[in-house]
Chains A and B, each alone.
Chain A
Amino acid sequence: MINIEYWLIFSSLLFAIGAYGVLTRKNAIVVLMCIEIMLNAANVNLVAFSSYYTTLHPGLGADASGQVFALFSIAIAAAEVAVGLAILLEVYRRYQTIDVDKINILRW
């Protein structure tokens, strides 16, 4: 049994890596991937807290609701990636680039 602190440290590292990638990478695909990493960090948290909850209250039996939410989240992430990639395709078709610094028409 791994202590919850390790899971939390791991997931926050994962989240920080993802956030760093979202903020710094120029390639929109990479940014999308980094968003996936951040989502997965959240999923790790969900699963970890679900397991922790069961160990805190042994009398209640196994509770899978945290893991169910993680599954939901994964499903939504898949949908999100599909939409995101579709948008990127359209962007590329129009601007011949997916460099996020170049796609800045939403401005003053």
Chain B
Amino acid sequence: MLEYAWLIPVFPFIAFILIALLPKRTLGWEDGCGYGIAGAAGAFALSALVVWEVINGRTLLPEDAPRFTWLIIGDISVTFGIWIDELTALMLVVVSVVGTLVVIYSAGYMHQEGVTRRRYYAEIMLFISVMYGLVLADNYIEMFIFWELVGLCSYLLIGFWYERPSAASAAKRAFIVTRVGDIMFMAGIIILLKYVGTLDFVTLFDEGGTQAVPADMMTLATALIFGGAIGKSAQFPLHEWLPDAMEGPTTVSALIHAATMVKAGVYLTARSYPLLVQSPESLMLVAVIGGVTALLAATCALAANDIKRVLAYSTISQLGYMILGLGAGGYLVIEASNPNGYTAATFHLINHAIFKALLFLCAGSVIHSIGTNDMRLMGGLHKKMRITSITMLIGALAIAGLPPLSGFWSKDEVLAAVWHAGEFDWTFTLLWVMGIVTAFMTAFYMFRMWFMTFAGEQRSDFHAHESPKTMTVPLMILAALAMGSGFALFIGDGFKTFMEGSIHGLLQGVHHESPMDVAVEIFTDPLTYVSLVLAIAGILVAYRLYCMPGFDRSVFAKGFPGKVQRALENRWYISQFYDDFAYKIWYGFSLVADAFDRYVIDGVVNGFAYLGANTGGKMRKAQTGNVQRYASLIVVGIIALLVFMLYVLPWGGW
């Protein structure tokens, strides 16, 4: 069964081809949505079968995997194949569930778009297809190709409303900023190729593969590969593209910028674990970047007034958690042969995919209904949009980390792993503090958003209505999943034991925890209660500031006092710094280059041209038109020639 997993991306790809090429009148319902749902559902069904096989303990052995050779360059052969283990299965769940639900939801959300829907569905199907390809890739080259295709689709979809200048520039920005990361990724895999001679995971992750690379080069290569993850997963300092990417349709934000594409960076980091654990320095970089991003993005979310931007910053912040968990988990693997960090981060990955897709789709439902993103203009929607309101409340509770919703389990596991890594390096204790502060902020800004949107009085003139069934049904499914997915920790052998499978080669004598042990551990750990109390405190502060009857309304205008408020609204000036950097420094450099081109390069060319023209101008004065002068010059010339031939040449010895 597993060897047919390569068919998974084929379904959405066929849908893409059909939607893109079929004559217009055969597109059917919603300009191709039917084909889209069919393609996504086909892939979903096949993914479900594959995941079922993996849950039952069957992974695809590399020697059984179907693969074909694409290129042979000297001794290096580039093959395409598939790689299925527990991590792949996890990503398949994310992509298939969220992808299918988003396509269904789009039928309602994109209804008013008219003929451009065809382009939308074609691009969405291409995106889902290449995302499956990325997840299934069995070597870095194949992964890189799909990685770039994912970036391309992201560009196309962010710029879906390309008539708007802001959308067009956001698309370009996303493409260019992630490209910085992609270049680093490419440099990293080139280093690996140089030392190991192949990029197949099966060889690279083997003892022989990891030993072939010198330690310092391994640090460089892993740090560069993680650079790719920084770009794709919008980690500091390359995180600024994600909030801008909210210019695309909300469904795109949910699919790409919450659930799948930005997870590709985390997936890459998790996939490269066998390499990363060879280099503690890289792991430290991973952890620090993750921790800083989590905190920084959370602070930016505090002051955002655009409902989608709040969610975008929260996405960045949660991705920071996952990266932090992976970094800390690597230390645990090295020092204690303990997979907790890895399992916690991957667990947070799937939980976050579900509740963040839910939150984005709820936000989409609100925007669809009242036609604005600005939370200052909303309020009082709870009465009008009950389903959206309740499902979004579930999402907010999940991300804030209240039990028994999914976010509680995974966030707590991540923080616990970071705390335990603190035993081996004090930096992790600091990062844990940042993580716990982020947890507080997360609860605060999510409920600030919920209260501003759904609670209180209506603050502007709009007629809200509940969204159609195609939109609310996916919301309810996702809400149910967001409530339930946390219990994956306790089903069967438990999620931890399951995820250990994909890195068991790195662990020696691992002690399997039964689900009961995990539960006991969570509830006897005082740290659990610290984060829980902080989350509740965050919600209460949000209630006090934004919802309590008779609260000061000017708080919407004022927010935090003075400088801090301004800094938060300007996202710590990072975006501005990039603009200034581009405008002042880079523009200055460009001016110098331009001057060099204009004066030196062009100067030489023009100089030659001028020399020719000028000399010609001088020389033509010799053409006097006086025949006798010509004749006398001929005579002089002949005499000179004769003298030369008769006297100079013989004298010279010829």
A residues adjacent to B (C-beta < 8 A): 19, 22-24, 31, 100-101, 103-108
Tell whether, in the assembled complex, residue B628 and residue A107 are in contact, meaning their CB atoms are under 8 Å apart.
no
Q: Which residues of B contact A105 (CB under 8 A)?
A: 625
B628 touches A100 (CB 8 A): yes
> Chain B CB within 10 Å — which of A19, A24, A105, A108 has the most?
A108
- Which residues of chain B from 617 to 635 have any CB-CB distance to chain A below 8 Å in the complex? 620-621, 623-628, 631-632, 635
What is the minimal beta-carbon distance from B618 to any residue of chain A, in angstroms?
Answer: 11
Residue of A nearest to B617 (CB): A108
Known: A22-B631, A24-B628, A108-B620; 10 extra A-B contacts, CB below 8 A, are: A22-B628, A23-B632, A23-B635, A31-B628, A100-B626, A100-B627, A103-B625, A107-B623, A108-B623, A108-B625
Partner of B626, one of A19, A31, A101: A101
Q: Tell me the nearest residue of chain B to A23, going by C-beta.
A: B632
- How many residues on the B side are at the interface (Cβ–Cβ under 8 A)? 11
15 inter-chain pairs at a CB distance below 8 angstroms, sorted by A residue, are A19-B635, A22-B631, A23-B628, A23-B631, A31-B628, A100-B627, A101-B626, A104-B627, A105-B625, A106-B625, A107-B624, A107-B626, A108-B620, A108-B621, A108-B623
Which residues from chain A contact B628 at a C-beta distance below 8 Å? 22-24, 31, 100-101
Shortest C-beta distance, B641 to chain A (Å), equals 15
Q: Which B residues lie within 8 Å of A104 (CB)? A: 624-627
A28: nearest chain-B partner, CB-CB: B627
Contact with A along B597-624 (1 / 0, CB 8 A): 0000000000000000000000011011
Q: How far is the CB of A48 from chain B (nearest CB, A)?
A: 20
The 6 residue pairs across chains A and B that have the minimum distance between CB atoms: A107-B625, A104-B625, A108-B620, A108-B623, A106-B625, A23-B632
Shortest beta-carbon distance, A24 to chain B, in Å?
Answer: 7
With a cutoff of 8 Å between Cβ atoms, the chain B residues found around residue A31 in the complex are: 628
Residues of A within 8 A of B632 (CB): 23
CA distance A106 to B627 in the complex (A): 9
Residues of A within 8 A of B635 (CB): 19, 23
Chain B residues, CB < 8 A from A103: 625, 627
Type the 1/0 row for B20-56, where 1 means its CB is closer than 8 Å to any CB of A: 0000000000000000000000000000000000000
Chain B residue contacts of A24, Cβ below 8 A: 628
- In the complex, what distance in Å separates the CA atom of A104 from the CA atom of B623? 10
Report the nearest B residue to A106, measured CB to CB: B625
Shortest distance in angstroms between A45's beta carbon and chain B's nearest beta carbon? Answer: 16
* Minimum Cβ distance to chain B for residue A104 (Å): 3
- For residue A29, give the distance in angstroms from its CB to the closest CB of chain B: 14
Which partner residue on chain B sits nearest A24 by CB separation? B628
* Docked CA distance A106–B623 (Å): 8
Q: How close is B619's CB to chain A, nearest CB, in angstroms?
A: 9
Q: How far is the CB of A30 from chain B (nearest CB, A)?
A: 12
- How far does the alpha carbon of A22 sit from the alpha carbon of B628 in the complex, in Å? 7
What is the CA–CA distance of A103 and B628 in the complex, to the nearest angstrom? 11
Contacts of A107 in B (CB 8 A): 623-626
The docked-state distance in angstroms from the alpha carbon of A86 to that of B209 is 98
- B154 CB, nearest partner CB in chain A, Å: 66
List CB contacts (< 8 Å) of B51-96 with chain A.
none
A103, B631: Cα distance in complex, Å? 15
CA A105 to CA B627, docked complex, whole Å: 10
Residue of B nearest to A104 (CB): B625
Complex: A101 Cα to B630 Cα, angstroms: 12
In the complex, chain B residues whose CB is within 8 Å of the CB of A101: 626, 628
Cα A85 to Cα B627 in complex, Å, equals 16
Q: How far is the CA of A19 from the CA of B631 in the complex (A)?
A: 9
Chain B: minimal CB distance from A21 (Å): 10
Query: Separation in Å of the B179 CB from the closest CB of chain A?
Result: 59
> B502 CB to closest chain A CB, in angstroms?
86
Alpha-carbon distance A51/B647, docked complex (angstroms): 29
Q: How far is the CA of A100 from the CA of B624 in the complex (A)?
A: 12
- B623, B624, B627 — which one has the most chain A CB atoms within 10 A of its CB? B627
Q: How far is the CB of A34 from chain B (nearest CB, A)?
A: 11
What is the CA–CA distance of A101 and B627 in the complex, to the nearest angstrom? 8
